[in-house]
Structure 1
Amino acid sequence: MKNSYFRYIFLVLATFTFATFSFAQNIKLTGKIKDGNTLEAIPYASIQILETASSGTSSNERGEFTLTLTGGKRKIRVTSVGYEAREVELSTDEEQYEQVFLYAQNAIETVTVKPPKLKYSNKNNPAVELIRQVIAHRDENRLSGQEYVEYNQYEKIILGLSNLSEKFKNRKIFKNYQFLFQQDTANTDVPSYMIPAFMEEKYSKNYYRKNPKTSNQIVIAQKQADFDPKFVDNAGMSNYFKRLYDEVEIYDNNVTILTNQFLSPIANSAPTFYRFYITDTLEVDNEKLVELSFFPRNKNDLLFKGKLLITLDGQYAVKHAYMSTNKEINLNFVRGLDIELAFGKDNKNKYYLNKSSLEIDFALTGKGKGIRGKRVIMLNDYNSGTERPDSVYSMKTLPVSSNQVIATTAKEVDWNTLRPEPLSEGESVVYQNIEGLQNMSSFKRVMDISALLLAGYKQLGPVEVGPVNTFYSYNPVEGLRLRVGGRTTEQLSERFYAEAYGAYGTNDQRWKYFVSGTYALNKKSPYKFPQHYLRVSASYDTKIPGQNLEFIQEDNILLSFKRGENQTYLYNNEYKLDYKAEFEGNFAITSGLKIWKQTPAGVLAYRQLQPDGSTQLIESLNTTELSLGLRWAPKEQFYQGKNYRTPIVNEFPIFNLQYTAGLKGIFNGEYNYHNFSAGAFKRFYLSQLGYADVNLDGTYILGNNVPYPLLTIHRANQTYAYQLASYNLMNFMEFVSDHHASLQVQYYMNGFIFNKVPLLKKLKLREVFSFKGIYGGLRDANNPNLSNGVYDWQRNTDGAISSYTFSEDTPYMEASVGVANIFKILRVDAVRRLTYLDHPNAPTWGVRARIKFDF
């Protein structure tokens, strides 16, 4: 803060609440510290009780504080670096309002003197030496440094619409919803309101063992404000909010919040990215502490600012932490982020985190309406060093999606005895308000319309119709494609789900269809973790070979627009039986039987090479396949929707192994072959340098004279959208192989470079780089150039060969350089194809765009 020695006054606004006890009166003092001249909040000011000199607190990022005075203590001392301290004598009134003016040190009203700017340096800096001591003792003071630990944990998440004006509250549309509005206590400048929309509480018993490293959480009680499951997946919403409001571990090098990693102020490299200052010494609970303030060297990087209270008893532990972010930070939709951590001593005199609070205020702009959420975690009965039987650390019961064990308890739980502190007045009515909301017909209409707009389905009791984005599409084979479909809901059955659609093309004048039935074998929804189901399906529809999409239908209207020649299609007639079982540790087994008839369409034709050099046109190809798949995704996180999952990527890898056998002579199968494929995915977090997503996969197909439609047709993309798993400058059916290995890398720098460029950092743009490569080929027996027993290569409309395999010494490669976070939602890449530029219609460059919502 420039000219801090000559600012005028600070104003401490406080509202005091007193409670009377039998012998002495306790005062709960709350307040907000502001600049008396600018009226801006003053963060991290120190408030100390003078009579004891052993307890106190600090204001948070918004200048707010809470302090309890016991007995006859009536005097506090308020300080902030660069300003004169002020002692305040409090009254004994049950309610009181105080204004406390603080004057800047050496304030001279008529003279302005600018102090010299001192260059910050880590060398010979006592603050840096202190933080290096904290870093050196970090492993000794963290949970993983203890042999055995057990504790009870209470956690609470609450979210709601925030910063709502009086005018907004009094709108006619909210006439029947006035009971939802609560005073927004976080905004005391202008009267405003908030509407709590979600709340969840959980109380659990936790056990940790260092060697072998094992942890177990037994949930004793859990409570959530549920919405109608017809519209909202409550469990999935809970998992997603917990991922956004992740647990904060300051002793880790990086703190994960909002799917991003922030460098901890006590990370190994913290002195490189932070500036540290010793700003105060104080005594709290008879412990001598040093107040250490820290600030990011670059305000746009993913770093914190705040204060640490460090012990001087030789442990160099964190006693208290206040952390927030700068407004300039390259973070989307976040108006404010505040973290408060408090540490206590266990039975072995070691410090442990006994309370953490993470509050995030989301908004599209710096002002106006938003969504504010808060997650509070409190620990008690913390015990270190008590060894328990092995069964306690690895309880063999079925986990839910977050790998937590639900204990058997009584139906009614007295939450008043479980909560370490009571709910606030506003929190205590959330459950009741949301329950009342469900019974209002007007609210049900709003949710029905929202489900149609967001999910694409119209609710009709036990069934829902959709998705609406597939009702109309276009492709050159079918022409105008019209489709209507739907699926059943839990109102019909929780264990059985059916899905079906019908489609018609105006060009080919053919009807297409899909119908499936899924039955859960574990007495719960087949779409919920752990999945265990049987599915039977039958379909007749078009497909582009080599186009494999995830989380989107192939006839989505947005995919109707494609570059280059787009005439290679199949009519697929499939009958499938699928089985899936998920187990503890996120291990899954899948198996299936597939009877598949594929008929070429458009320019696609299957031509059988004959010994005399001629070709025979093959009308259709019949295949019978038996498959077995294994998937292991340790500590996987995802948002579980009603009928789908959206992965929430973390640092843990995902492994896949798949075996498929072609069965000749069974259900008209024409070929024998064995397809072995494996893949691995991992996100590598690189702290301030961003993160990289790495995909490795490979396939080997055993079998001779296997036609190319049954081999690997590599994933191509001819749309103008950037697809992560496809090759964006490869044409459909361009490359075929029976053995290959591939590498795909997406590297997101999160603005590390752009944040250093004066003009670009204001736009909060982010750099993104990618590389994709495939090395593979065809064995002689499966190569149309060398064998007469397989199908000839595919040709385009000009009669030229348009399908190939890879040469022995040249892999297919493409790379891109992109700019992400354009308008906070758009990524645009310049993609360059590096090899096989001589193929017909092979693009050299391309610009591709992708909608991507990131924090």
Structure 2
Amino acid sequence: MKNTILVLFILIGASVFSQTKISGIITDTTGEPVAFANVIFKDSQEGTISNENGRFYLESEKNYTAVLFSFVGYDTKEVVLTQRTTYKMEIVLEEGAAALDEVVIYTGKTSKKNNPAIDILRKIWENRRENGVKKFKQYQYDKYEKLEFDLNTIDSAFMENKIFKGMEFIFDMTDTSKVTGKTYLPIFINEAYSQVYGDNILKTEKEILQGNKNSGFDNNQSLIAFIKDLYSEYDVYDNYLKFFDKAFTSPLSRTGIDVYNYVLQDSAFRDNKWCYNIVYYPRRKNELTFKGDFWVNDTTWAIKEINLNASKSANVNWVRDVYIEQEFDVLNDSIFLITRDYFMSDFSFRKKESAQGLYGKRTTLYDKYEFDIPKDKKFYSEQVDPYRYEVYNRPDDYWDEKRLESLNKDEKGVYKMLDTLKTVPRFKSLYNLTATLASGYYEINNFDFGPIYSVFGYNESEGVRIRLGGRTYFGQNDPWRLEGFGAYGFKDDRFKYGLSGKWLLDRRSRLTVFGGNRRDVEQTGASLTNSNDVLGRNLASSSLFSVGTNDRLSRINLSTLGFSVEPWKNFVVRVTGSYRTLKSATETFSIDYKEMQDGFFTGNIKSEVQQPEIVLGLFYTPGKKTSGYGVERTIINEGNYSSFYLGYSYGLKDVLGGDFEYQRLQAFYSRPWNIGGLGRLYSTVEVGKTYGEVPLSLLNPIPGNQTYWTIYNTFTQLDYYEFVSDTYASLYLQHDFGGRIFSRIPLIRNWNLREVVGFRAVYGTISQENINLNASNIVYRAPEDIYWEWSVGVGNIFRVFRLDFNFRGNYLDNPEARDFGVTGSFGFSF
């Protein structure tokens, strides 16, 4: 991703427009903080609740002279405001003599029986599918969305940092958050106007982007798409709300009574509708839960207003705070439709309140609802080009008409401020440095050098290996791209190289031609499903450290030429012609095979395979989201969509010197599963069969793993070529509980660790004809008794590392079988 959220963090580590601001802490007479207390400006409906530590912040554009503090079981306290801004207030609430029993209920775990709040909650469950647009056959509406990023916790020391020399003008637009009370600086805004159409009978929905306007960095479609996926659409009536790849339990969930305390606090008219006010807060720490309150109508049991504030102790990395507000309006006196959705998150490397961070805000407004206007099924299936020129170049008067919420003074200034900022040389340098760290490429005059993270490697054949490469890059929407590398091994004293090119001929059908050549050292058999990626290279070939001797490497000379097309969204057809030669790269490893003619051994042993091959591949990735329209598109939701592959390969004999004729069928299916509050399960199934007689280098070795890294879709306790097959079926399962178990254990819960368990199994056979071809030093053995292994792991160590303990299930009598091993992996995740 050329532009990523990390780029915005290069600025991390007032003017006031509101009329009334207050902040402070609420305690009881013993000095203990009062969590979830109400803070409301007198004679208004503007208020908030204190957080888990009793702290609060509230602001309004209006002038108020008094504020009320209340909590069930305590006397309401009124404080007169003598000035517009009053910070560091210390509020002490006294227990009400007639309500001491209520204090026990509210501050501890509320009862699940005889609790009027839970009785109301059950009414919501019964009617939740009968509210909103789901009550109609068809629906359509206009949607305006504003995405914004702001630097927060701006203080004088931060402003005086030398990093901002020459850029001091950016601090002229600082403001204060009404949610957290922190000073912030808007630095990025994107506006989008869309029309949405849906059909509940066909169970489909289509959103057509009509206008897009942004400030900030050029060619930032990837950043915008990434943010939108981060804040993916959600329905508060669902049992679980997915943010940052985590499943938070909704306060309206059917399982909510197991993780939340509920209190019926008030009832009143909200826009002429009588509603009940229910406060909720977590029963336990460290779980993916919220605190807040909601107003629910007393007849339709539909939500009128709701706010959600993620628990401070929730096991989420890099996110310090999450706050959500939703408002609903009434149609025809009974149907509640969402009109406004506000989502704010506070990103930071540290969770300390004093640390600099980044606000990510999304405001979505809904208008002009219409119902029961049917459209042809073809309307929903037709693709609309989202990158039309006019969509991104609407005039100002268009936005004056379509913008459903006016920009404030700060937001208007961002467009001008960033245009100026991009002309500052120091900012350009910081931007380029951060872009290099994020993408792995360093750009000079439309050419990217990299990836910088693969410069050094090591294996038994090459010894220490140095690799330098690069690619053309004029922008993320380039219609063509050239890429290449050169490498040198100090042990084998050989030069290797790779060169590839691809060209997008038609943007709508994604018709692309590609080709290239690579001469390199490779660990073949590192995956079951074959790859013809001419520049591909796996970790097994260049890992600096390995378990035992990793000398089973091959020299490969691979040339490819082919084309691909995408007739339907996320469905790709690819045809590839390839020619490869393979031979051993070390003296201790052999791929020798017996030369056969008319079914008889000629007496010759051959050490090199020359093989042309044609491959037809079908790829289907439902749910995959991409950005850009060039020859290479950025995947936005990596790891969060299903993948299906079906491939047919045909090996040509006596064509271009081809040695073997064979056919191969392969299929691959991978899918992530969100298991509600139990975490996420990753599953993969692979099957394949080769028809015809082929030697070792064209068979399917079961992918072992002799590195110290955890590599998904490999068998950690197997050595390379320990099992060989021509027919196979494998299953990979990995479940991440997300800390659900550790969060119940005292002391350990504070470390925010996450539990991971895995199971891997494979079945395979090999024909006697293929065994008869073997003249290598590898003894053919197939996992006919189903080889299996399992693992347990501890993730989120220092928020970036995972440690896995792997156990071999069977075949313990194999020579030098490894029954136990430890592997690890680094990764940045929420």
TM norm structure 2: 0.87
2-structure distance, mates of 1:171, 1:119: 47
Give the drift of 1:714: 2.4
Tell me the distance in 2 between the aligned counterparts of 1:113 and 1:132.
25
Given the alignment of the two structures, is residue 264 of structure 1 paired with residue 253 of structure 2, yes or no? Answer: no
Please state if 1:637 is matched with 2:625. Answer: yes
How big is each residue's C-alpha offset from its partner over 1:78-103, in whole Å with a ceiling of 9 and x where there is no partner?
64434444678999xxx956899977
8 Å contact kept, 2:109–2:261:
no
Number of the residue aligned with 1:134 = 124
Match of residue 138 from structure 2: 148
Q: What amino acid does structure 1 have at the position aligned with 2:301? A: Y
Q: Indicate whether 1:779 and 2:767 are aligned.
A: yes
Structure 1 residue corresponding to 2:674, chosen from 675, 685, 697 = 685
Contact 2:526–2:540 (CA<8 Å) still a contact in 1?
Answer: no
In the TM superposition, what is the alpha-carbon distance from 1:609 to its structure 2 partner?
3.8
C-alpha contact (below 8 Å) 1:470/1:555 kept by paired residues = no
Structure 1, residues 672-710: CA drift from partner, whole Å, max 9, x if none?
11111111111111111111111111112222x222321
Residue number among 258, 273, 298 corresponding to 1:287 in the alignment: 273
Could you say which residue in structure 2 is the equivalent of 1:485? 469
Residues in 1 aligned to 2:798 and 2:627: alpha-carbon distance in whole angstroms: 25
Q: How does 1:589-608 map to 2 (within 5 A)?
A: 589-602=573-586, 603-608=588-593
1:318 aligns with 2:311: no
Deviates more, 1:374-383 or 1:82-91: 82-91
Within-5 A mapping of 1:733-772 = 733-772=721-760
CA distance in 1: counterparts of 2:438 and 2:309, whole angstroms? 33
Gaps of 5+ in 2: 1-15
Q: Deviations over 1:303-358 (max 9, x none)?
A: 1111111110x211111111112222222222111111111123573111111111
Partner of residue 352, structure 1: 337
132, 152, 166: which is aligned to 1:176? 166
Q: Which amino acid is 2:72 matched to?
A: V
- Cα separation, 2, equivalents of 1:649 and 1:509: 38
Deviation of 1:405 after TM superposition, in Å, equals 8.9
Residue of 237, 241, 245 corresponding to 2:227: 241
2:363 pairs, out of 369, 373, 376, with: 376
Residue 448 of structure 1, CA deviation: 2.6
Instruction: Report the residue type matching 2:329 in the other structure.
Output: G
- Given that 1:45 and 1:63 are in contact with CA atoms closer than 8 Å, whether structure 2 keeps it comes out as no
* Structure 1 partner of 2:572: 588
Which residue of 2 is the match for residue 792 of structure 1? 775
Among 35, 39, 45, the residue aligned to 2:26: 35
Q: Give a deviation string over 1:208-231, Cα, whole Å, max 9, x none.
A: 1101112111112111224245xx
1:835 and 2:822 correspond:
no
For 1:609 and 1:30, the matched residues in 2 are separated by 85
1:200 equivalent in structure 2: 190
Distance 1:98 1:507, change over 3 A: closer
Deviations 1:804-838 (A, max 9, x none): 2223xx11111101111111111101101112222
Is residue 310 of structure 2 the alignment partner of residue 340 of structure 1?
A: no
Contact 2:240-2:677 within 8 A present in 1 as well: no
Q: Is the 8 A contact 1:463 1:492 kept in 2?
A: no
SS of corresponding position for 1:433? helix
Q: 1:566 aligns with which of 537, 547, 550?
A: 550
Picking from 441, 447, 465, the partner of 2:449 is: 465
Query: Are positions 1:544 and 2:523 aligned together?
Result: yes
Q: Write the deviation string for residues 580-635 of structure 1: whole angstroms up to 9, x where unpaired.
A: 22244311111110011112221222333479999743131011111111111222
Which region of structure 1 is more displaced relative to structure 2, 842-851 or 240-249?
240-249
For residues 554 and 762 of structure 1, do their structure 2 counterparts lie closer, same or farther at Cα, with a shift above 3 Å needed? same
Q: Following the alignment from structure 1 to structure 2, what is the Cα–Cα distance between the partners of residues 610 and 493?
A: 50
Change (3 A) 1:849 1:81: same
Write the distance in 1 (CA, Å) between the matches of 2:560 and 2:444: 28
Contact 1:696–1:741, Cα closer than 8 Å, also in 2: yes
Displacement after TM superposition at 1:654 (Å): 2.2
- The number of equivalent residue pairs is 791
Q: Distance in 2 between matches of 1:721 and 1:637?
A: 28
SS across alignment from 2:739 = coil
Change (3 A) 1:40 1:225: farther
Deviations 1:56-94 (A, max 9, x none): 654586744566889xx9998664434444678999xxx
Q: In 1, are the aligned partners of 2:624 and 2:635 still within 8 Å (CA)?
A: no
Query: Is the CA contact (8 Å cut-off) linking 2:73 and 2:101 kept in structure 1?
Result: no
For the 8 Å contact 2:57–2:179, the answer to whether it is kept is: no
Q: Which has the higher contact order (CA 8 A, sep 6+)?
A: 2
> Which runs of structure 2 are paired with 1:589-738 in the superposition (5 Å)?
589-602=573-586, 603-609=588-594, 616-637=604-625, 645-646=634-635, 648=637, 652-703=641-692, 705-738=693-726
Say if 1:82 and 1:668 are closer, same or farther in 2 by CA, change over 3 A. same
Q: 1: distance between equivalents of 2:242 and 2:373?
A: 30
Q: Output the CA distance in 1 between the equivalents of 2:103 and 2:161.
A: 53
Answer yes or no: is the 8 Å Cα contact 2:505–2:511 preserved in 1. Answer: yes
Alpha-carbon separation, structure 2, partners of 1:680 and 1:656: 7
Q: Deviations over 1:421-457 (max 9, x none)?
A: 2112221122222222222222222223333333332
Mapped to 2, the partners of 1:380 and 1:31 lie a distance apart of 33
Contact 2:322 / 2:344 at 8 angstroms: preserved in 1? yes
State the partner residue of 1:12: none
Residue 253 in 1 paired to residue 228 in 2?
no
- 2:690 partner letter: I
Tell me, in whole angstroms, the C-alpha distance in 1 between the residues paired with 2:414 and 2:636: 29
Tell me which residue corresponds to 2:825.
850
In structure 1, the residue matched to 2:282 is: 296
Alignment partner, residue 535 of structure 1: 514
For residues 745 and 212 of structure 1, the distance between their equivalents in structure 2, rounded to whole angstroms, comes to: 33
With 124-133 and 240-249 compared, the bigger mean Cα shift is at 240-249
How far is the alpha carbon of 1:290 from its aligned partner? 0.9
Distance 1:184 1:547, change over 3 A: farther
- Paired amino acid for 1:535: F
Contact 2:34 2:50 in 1 (8 A): no
Q: Deviations over 1:282-313 (max 9, x none)?
A: 2221211111111222221111111111110x
Contact 1:649 1:683 in 2 (8 A): no
Tell me the distance in 2 between the aligned counterparts of 1:647 and 1:731: 34
Range with greater deviation from structure 2 (644-653 or 148-157) = 644-653
Larger mean Cα displacement after TM superposition, 500-509 or 487-496: 487-496
Q: Distance in 2 between matches of 1:252 and 1:546?
A: 44
Deviation at 1:493, TM superposition (A): 9.3
Q: Which runs of 5+ in 1 are unaligned?
A: 1-14, 19-28, 524-528, 796-800
Partner Cα separation in structure 2 for residue 825 and residue 767 of structure 1:
14
Matched position secondary structure for 2:409: coil
Q: Partner of 2:72 in structure 1?
A: 81
User: What TM-score results when the alignment is normalised by the length of structure 1?
Assistant: 0.85
Cα contact 1:244–1:257 (8 A) shared by 2:
yes
- Aligned counterpart for 2:412 among listed residues 428, 433, 456: 428
Cα–Cα, structure 1 residues 187 and 410, in superposed 2: closer, same or farther, change >3 Å? closer
* AA in 1 matched with 2:697: P
Q: Once structures 1 and 2 are overlaid, which stretch shifts more, 763-772 or 174-183?
A: 174-183
For the aligned residue pairs, the C-alpha RMSD in angstroms reads 3.5
* Corresponding residue for residue 498 of structure 2: 514
Q: Is the partner of 1:762 in helix, strand or coil?
A: helix
Q: Tell me the alpha carbon deviations over residues 243-273 of structure 1, each in whole angstroms, 9 at most, x when there is no partner.
A: 2222331011110011101111111222222
> 499-508 vs 351-360, which deviates more?
499-508
Matched with 1:798 is none
Evaluate the alpha carbon distance shift between residue 348 and residue 738 of structure 1 in structure 2; reply closer, same or farther with a 3 A threshold. Answer: farther
Matched residues in 2 for 1:74 and 1:215: separation? 48
In 1, the alpha carbon distance for the partners of 2:329 and 2:605 equals 79
Q: Which residue of 2 aligns with 1:826?
A: 801
Paired-residue identity, %: 26
